[in-house]
Amino acid sequence: MKILILSRKHDLYSTRRLVEAAAMRGHKADVIDTLRCYMNITSARPSIHYKGDELDVYDAVIPRIGASVTFYGAAVVRQFETMNVFCVNGSVAITRARDKLRSLQLLSKKGLGLPITGFAHSVDEIQDLIKMVGGPPLVIKFLEGTQGVGVVLVETSKAARSVIEAFLGLKVNILVQEYIKEAGGADIRCFVVGGDVVAAMKRQAKSEEFRSNLHRGGCATPIEITNEERTMAIRAAHLVGLNVAGVDMLRSNRGPLIMEVNASPGLEGIETATGKDVASTIIQFIEQNLEETNRKK
């Protein structure tokens, strides 16, 4: 089996582990920079080219699309879909997950637990927006931020109003969200592959920091999740349309609350914390999917 990994860098931990896992299971995996791909969009024979040559035929594509290249990366994945190549995560699901507002609206429609979240355009509505999410302290988030970037905790109404006004004045789309104090600066990352949670870790923020992201200095430990948390993580990934997803949730007084569904979850934190070979699980999922497809032909 020939697998293509779309990644900007060959030496990233997640990319290297996927290449290693594919090789261990007897497959060939190539890594190609997403932004160096270019497309021939035609009804007769759509194709993708790279560095002057048409790409070989691949059995499957693993998209590792960063936030800064979402638009172009999704277009490349969409081209592979047009060519009937199996993509571990599809283009529509990737763009859904990257837009926090869109993904939260999808989850809320199906009744999944979420923090109270507000979204507005006009600065005239700020006071009611703050009141709507329960007042300070509250969290303000960029719609397309990742790894904790663009996430601000504000502790007074005055500070909240100032920050929201500043962001809206800069034409930055933001979410205003209730702060779940009882979570204690910790969240849970559930790693979903093919409709099952294959690993889970607790991420704890460092002292005087509320963001638990490992890139922000948080620490990770393995955790046993409840049946409710497992079911919510699987449903969230399914509703967004992702086969491989990192589902982040908080433990609150009213049950688990989903914070985000990530379409390109990193492997280093989850594999280090849990000791599980998540990369091989992803390769196994591809094998099973292709076997099932071939049986149907």
Distance of alpha carbon 185 from alpha carbon 205, whole angstroms: 5
Please state which CATH class domain 2-88 belongs to: alpha beta
Tell me, what's the pLDDT at 231? 97
DSSP classification of residue 74: H
Question: What is the arithmetic mean of pLDDT over 7-29?
Answer: 95
The number of residues in the chain equals 297
* Per-domain residue ranges of the chain: 2-88, 97-113+182-281, 117-179
Tell me, what's the pLDDT at 198? 97
pLDDT, one tens digit per residue, over 63-85 is 999 888 999 999 999 999 999 99
Distance of alpha carbon 200 from alpha carbon 125, whole angstroms: 39
Angle, nearest 10°, between helix axes 100-109 and 91-98? 100
Question: What is the arithmetic mean of pLDDT over 241-265?
Answer: 95
Nearest to 268 by CA among 20, 34, 2: 20
Q: DSSP assignment of 226-260, as one string?
A: PHHHHHHHHHHHHHHTBSEEEEEEEEETTEEEEEE
Is pTM beyond 0.85 here? yes
Q: Which of 175-189, 258-272, 282-296 has the highest mean pLDDT?
A: 258-272
pLDDT, one tens digit per residue, over 158-172 is 998 898 888 888 888
Q: What is the mean pLDDT of the chain?
A: 90
pLDDT, one tens digit per residue, over 175-234 is 899 999 888 888 999 999 999 999 999 998 766 555 555 555 578 899 999 999 999 999
Cβ-based neighbours of 284, under 8 Å, separated by 6 or more: 25
Calculate what percentage of the chain has a pLDDT beyond 70. Answer: 93
Question: What is the arithmetic mean of pLDDT over 33-51?
Answer: 93
What angle (nearest 5°) sits at the alpha carbon of residue 216, between those of residues 211 and 19?
A: 120
Question: What is the arithmetic mean of pLDDT over 230-256?
Answer: 96
Distance of alpha carbon 221 from alpha carbon 151, whole angstroms: 23
Tokens of 281: 């699980």
CATH superfamily of 117-179: ATP-grasp fold, A domain (3.30.1490.20)
Which residue is listed with tokens 């109404």?
A: 157
Tell me, what's the pLDDT at 145? 57
CATH superfamily of 97-113+182-281: ATP-grasp fold, B domain (3.30.470.20)
Cβ-based neighbours of 68, under 8 Å, separated by 6 or more: none
pLDDT, one tens digit per residue, over 112-157 is 999 999 998 877 788 898 899 988 899 998 876 555 567 888 889 8
Tell me, what's the pLDDT at 293? 78
Tell me, what's the pLDDT at 214? 54
> Are 2-88 and 117-179 equal in CATH topology?
no
Cβ-based neighbours of 296, under 8 Å, separated by 6 or more: none
Tell me, what's the pLDDT at 147? 56
Q: What is the CA radius of gyration of the chain?
A: 20
Answer whether residue 14 shows pLDDT above 80: yes
What angle (nearest 5°) sits at the alpha carbon of residue 22, between those of residues 17 and 23?
A: 100
Distance of alpha carbon 23 from alpha carbon 13, whole angstroms: 15
Question: What is the arithmetic mean of pLDDT over 274-284?
Answer: 97
Tokens of 236: 């969230």
